[in-house]
Structure 1
Amino acid sequence: MYDLDDDPSRIDADAVWAFLSTEAYWGRWRTREQFETQLRGAWRVVGAYESATGTQVGFARALSDGVGLAYLADVFVLPSARGHGLGKALVHHMIDNGPGPHLRWMLHTADAHGLYAGFGFATPDQTYLERPGTPPGISPPA
């Protein structure tokens, strides 16, 4: 059994950092200090916890202006807790059970298109442009 909670004070930063810094293909370039800055600056965070022990097994972070736009980031479930619908539960709790179900949500993913399609995420149309970022220490494209 698992619990979801959007209380930022409950987030186990060490557990989240342990996963993001070693397993997350999307952000292993970050330093611990950069991660801490992102965590403090998040508009909203949601953690997934084992009910019996309170151990954190999943995480999601969002950035938003709280009015029109939101960006979903750093969604993960530890391998030991996968297969119980926690990924879907985290995304649902973040998007639909909080202050932002009316927002235009954005995200980047290389491997979870099916999960996010179930929440209405789709390939952007011709009106969407993006300037890709470059991790620190890497030269931007010319």
Structure 2
Amino acid sequence: MYEVDDNPDRIDVDAVWAFLSTEPYWGRWRTREQFETQLRGAWRVVGAYDAETGAQVGFARAVSDGVGLAYLADVFVLSSARGQGLGKALVHRMIDEGPGAGFRWMLHTLDAHGLYESFGFKRPDDTYLERPGMQPPY
């Protein structure tokens, strides 16, 4: 059994950093200091937790203007907790429940397209341009 909530005080920074700094292709380029800066500046965070132990097993972060635009980042579920619908629960809580439900959401990913497409994400239209950053995206 798992719990999903958006209480930023409940985020286990050490657990999230342990995953992001070693596992995903998209997270390993950052230093812990950079990650903590991103976490402090997050518009919203959502965590998934083991209901018995309280251990963090999933995470999602968003950056937003708070009015109509948001970027979904750092979504993950630990391998030990996958297959329980937690990825869907994290994304649902982030984008469909709460203040960003009507926003234009963006994200970058090389995988999990099926998950995000089930929430209405699709390839950008002709109005979207992007300037790549200097940091490697993965």
Work out whether 1:121 is the aligned partner of 2:121.
yes
Mapped partners of 2:27, 2:77: distance in 1:
15
Mapped partners of 1:132, 1:120: distance in 2:
24
Work out whether 1:22 is the aligned partner of 2:34.
no
TM-score (normalised: structure 1): 0.94
Mapped partners of 1:134, 1:120: distance in 2:
29
Mapped partners of 2:133, 2:15: distance in 1:
26
Q: Which runs of 5+ in 1 are unaligned?
A: 137-142
Mapped partners of 2:42, 2:129: distance in 1:
23
What is the CA-CA distance between 1:29 and the residue it aligns to? 0.7
Which structure has the greater CA radius of gyration?
Answer: 1
Structure 2 residue identity aligned to 1:114: G
Mapped partners of 1:84, 1:132: distance in 2:
35
| RMSD of aligned Cα (Å) | 0.8
Q: Which runs of 5+ in 2 are unaligned?
A: none
Matched residue, 1:80: 80
* 1:60-99 matched pairs, under 5 angstroms: 60-99=60-99
What is the CA-CA distance between 1:56 and the residue it aligns to? 0.2
What is the CA-CA distance between 1:10 and the residue it aligns to? 0.3
SS of match in other structure, 1:19: helix
What is the CA-CA distance between 1:104 and the residue it aligns to? 0.3
Aligned pairs, number: 136
SS of match in other structure, 1:17: helix
Mapped partners of 2:135, 2:18: distance in 1:
19
Structure 1 residue identity aligned to 2:37: T
Work out whether 1:134 is the aligned partner of 2:134.
yes
Matched residue, 1:44: 44
Mapped partners of 2:15, 2:40: distance in 1:
16
